[in-house]
Amino acid sequence: MTQRAYNFNAGPSALPLEVLQQAEQQFLNFQNSGMSIMEMSHRGAIFEAVHNEAITRLKQLYAIPENYEVLFLQGGASLQFAMIPMNFLQADQQASYVLSGVWSEKAFEEAKLFGTPIIATSSKDNQYRNIPNLTDIQFHEQDAYVHITSNNTIYGTQWQEFPNTGEVPLIADMSSDILSKPIDVRQFALIYAGAQKNLGPSGVTVVIIRKDLLEKANTNIPTMLKYSTHADSNSLYNTPPTFGIYMLGEVLKWVESQGGVAEIAKRNEEKAKVIYDAIDNSNGFYYGHATPESRSLMNITFRVADEALEKQFLAEAKAAGFVGLDGHRSVGGCRASTYNAVPLEACVALRDFMITFQQKHQ
């Protein structure tokens, strides 16, 4: 077997080795059909079973209640930024957005095309180092919905607790922490996530939507951009990304085989702690970007205090086989994305590398 990289990419990112091996094995002749999964009809029995199993598995893993639909869409999380207000915001309505990073800003900007988004609170003044305090979030009874980003991929912050918005539907972009820990889906009216971090390859967007929302949606919008179109046709209105859905299903099987989301969450805590400890025990040689109480278990953002050394750190890490440690191009620094499929050994190897680098250079 070829050596697997220590893959800390922010997305697309590491997939479980077992899933890749399984896909490789099934690649040329899927279930004795004489063809790959990519070459068969999305309306045939084989694909349909794969598709339906993936939906069922996600419902089981996340304990998604009966009054929710699971949809597989395309266009990435970015299309959701537009689809949400297009479906649920009327021209004369307002919706509240919590700004906790650039992705929430983008969602907020798209909503301006359809109605009046309002900033519920923002941590921009603090360089998005923290998740805003629950008590600072202002939303209003007349809001069409409240929008949050549960994990901020660029800054390495993650909500620890979600706001109670009462009757107002709570919508969350969970692109970078979906299925990383147990959540109570009932707190949300809509959850969306691009698959390419915790769920599979890029090309599929998962939407979990409460059914009553579907009934309230605007109707004067293009067919493909209506959630109801996809809900009414079990996400098979048009040709879906069949290979991506197959891979997503395999990733879900893997999560199940690991003991489910609660077990994955324990492992994610352990993995992140290994790296945060290296930062916190470095006497300031490394320092974290996120404030400790907002730290993400998925994206660990940090700096090497000496800027020249930071460049050297990233170069040496790359040479040592660590992939994807550069911070997002908008903020610089370092970022280790430790999604579900990143093994503990990769985090331990990174910690050891950080400690050795510090010993050499301080």
Task: Give the integer Cα–Cα distance in Å for 132 and 122.
Answer: 6
Of 334 and 354, which has the nearer Cβ to ligand PMP?
334
Of 11 and 201, which has the nearer Cβ to ligand PMP?
11
Whether residue 196 is annotated as binding a ligand: the answer is: yes
To ligand PMP, the closest distance from the beta carbon of 173 in angstroms equals 5
Task: Give the integer Cα–Cα distance in Å for 94 and 329.
Answer: 32
To ligand PMP, the closest distance from the beta carbon of 216 in angstroms equals 24
Of 191 and 278, which has the nearer Cβ to ligand PMP?
191
Whether residue 103 is annotated as binding a ligand: the answer is: yes
Of 12 and 343, which has the nearer Cβ to ligand PMP?
12
Of 165 and 296, which has the nearer Cβ to ligand PMP?
296
* Six-digit token string for 206: 């998962």
The Cβ-side half-sphere exposure at 44, using a 13 Å CA radius, reads 12
Interface contacts to ligand PMP, rule CB under 6 A: 11, 76-78, 103, 149, 153, 173, 175-176, 194
Question: What is the phi-psi region of residue 58: left when phi exceeds 0, alpha when psi lies from -120 to 50, beta otherwise?
Answer: alpha
Closest CA to 130 of 101, 107, 110, 102: 101
Whether residue 92 is annotated as binding a ligand: the answer is: no
Whether residue 335 is annotated as binding a ligand: the answer is: no
To ligand PMP, the closest distance from the beta carbon of 86 in angstroms equals 16
To ligand PMP, the closest distance from the beta carbon of 285 in angstroms equals 28
Whether residue 239 is annotated as binding a ligand: the answer is: yes
Task: Give the integer Cα–Cα distance in Å for 183 and 158.
Answer: 13
CA quadruple 51, 57, 62, 68: dihedral sign: positive
Query: How many angstroms separate the Cα of 290 from the Cα of each of 4, 130, 175, 255?
Result: 29, 6, 19, 28
Residues belonging to the active site: 103, 173, 197
To ligand PMP, the closest distance from the beta carbon of 176 in angstroms equals 4
Whether residue 153 is annotated as binding a ligand: the answer is: yes
Binding-site annotation: residue ranges: 43, 77-78, 103, 153, 173, 196, 238-239
Binding-site annotation: residue ranges for L-glutamate: 43
